[in-house]
Amino acid sequence: MPKTDAGQEAAFVASGTILPVSDYIDLMPNYKKTIEDWKFKDEFNSILQQDGRYYLLPGMHEQVWPEYTLTVRLDVFEQDGIAIPTTWDELRSALRQLKAKHAGVYPLSDKYQANSILQNAGLAYGTVAGWGFGGAKYDAAADAFVYPPMTKQYRDLVEYFNGLVAEGLMDPESFTHANEQADQKFVTGKTYVITSNSQDLPTWRRSMDDILGRGK
């Protein structure tokens, strides 16, 4: 099978189309050693099927690998003398600087209906949102499940993004437009910050070479 997200293999398991890879780990000594050395055994519970076996190899990285994160137009940041942000407050500051230098532009126009950026920001705010919103969150301090939108952390998160939109720093269409529209705004130089994954970058580079000129 090609690279597959957990859960997508379920239909093939039921039909008997694929074999349980967990039956063959003795033939993969390096893989087996990594699982043991990194103490990943308990993590496999999330991909076990009803028969107690798993049918796809998990993604394992020695370092944290954020598959979805923010991508910036480095050339524009460098041209404008703006530091690459490392916190959400720094991101807001960078967007304000971009707005000041590029009037009439939304510096950030996101894709995925903002579900990815909300999920990532939710972690920093101590809550869950976007793709990470599951209806309830366990509050360890209170030893109880809470509904995130009723918490201060969630309200702070909403206020942050509401502020970005109100200041004209974030395109309000980020929450509604199709991914292709967000991509087009980015590669044509109409926006400078967007959420991406590793698969987006090669496509964007080719498009920007064609539209803006190679190396620009």
Give the per-residue SS3 of 15-50: HCCCCCHHHHHHHCHHHHHHHHHCCCHHHHHHHCCC
Structural domains in the chain (count): 2
Condensed to tens digits (0 to 9), the pLDDT of residues 132-164 reads 888 888 888 888 899 999 999 999 999 999 999
Asked if the structure places residue 140 within a domain, the reply is yes
- Does the pLDDT value for residue 215 go beyond 70? no
Co-location of 43 and 75 in the same domain: no
- Domain holding 35, by residue range, is 1-60
Tokens of 215: 């190396």
Asked if the structure places residue 216 within a domain, the reply is no
Co-location of 206 and 125 in the same domain: yes
Co-location of 47 and 84 in the same domain: no
Asked if the structure places residue 31 within a domain, the reply is yes
Asked if the structure places residue 162 within a domain, the reply is yes
Find, among 155, 157, 161, 74, the residue nearest to 110 by Cα.
Answer: 161
Co-location of 47 and 27 in the same domain: yes
- Does the pLDDT value for residue 216 go beyond 60? no
Co-location of 44 and 93 in the same domain: no
- Domain boundary (60, 80, 103) is at 60
Co-location of 48 and 139 in the same domain: no
Condensed to tens digits (0 to 9), the pLDDT of residues 32-81 reads 999 888 888 777 787 888 899 999 888 777 777 778 999 999 999 999 99
How large is the C-alpha radius of gyration of the chain? Answer: 21
- Does the pLDDT value for residue 15 go beyond 80? yes
Strands (E), the chain: 68-72, 137-139, 144-146, 193-197
Q: How high is the pLDDT of residue 4?
A: 72
Condensed to tens digits (0 to 9), the pLDDT of residues 67-114 reads 899 999 999 999 999 999 999 999 999 999 999 999 999 999 999 999
Find, among 111, 110, 108, the residue nearest to 98 by Cα.
Answer: 108
CA geometry: angle at 115 spanning 111 and 116, to 5°?
A: 75
Asked if the structure places residue 107 within a domain, the reply is yes
**Can you say whether residue 61 is alpha, beta or left, with left for phi > 0 and alpha for psi between -120 and 50 degrees?**
beta
Asked if the structure places residue 95 within a domain, the reply is yes
Co-location of 80 and 149 in the same domain: yes
Determine contact, residues 34/28, Cβ cutoff 8 Å. no
Q: Give me the chain's average pLDDT, please.
A: 90
| pTM exceeding the 0.85 threshold for the entire prediction | no
Gap between the Cα atoms of 99 and 97, Å rounded: 5
Co-location of 85 and 160 in the same domain: yes
Which of 14-18, 29-33, 88-92 is the least confident region? Answer: 14-18
Asked if the structure places residue 129 within a domain, the reply is yes
Condensed to tens digits (0 to 9), the pLDDT of residues 190-208 reads 999 999 988 898 889 888 8
Q: Which residues contact 66 (CB under 8 A, 6 or more apart)?
A: 120
Co-location of 156 and 196 in the same domain: yes
Co-location of 53 and 131 in the same domain: no
**Can you say whether residue 189 is alpha, beta or left, with left for phi > 0 and alpha for psi between -120 and 50 degrees?**
left
The CATH number linked to 167 is 3.40.190.10
Asked if the structure places residue 108 within a domain, the reply is yes
For residue 3, name the pLDDT band (cuts at 50, 70, 90): low
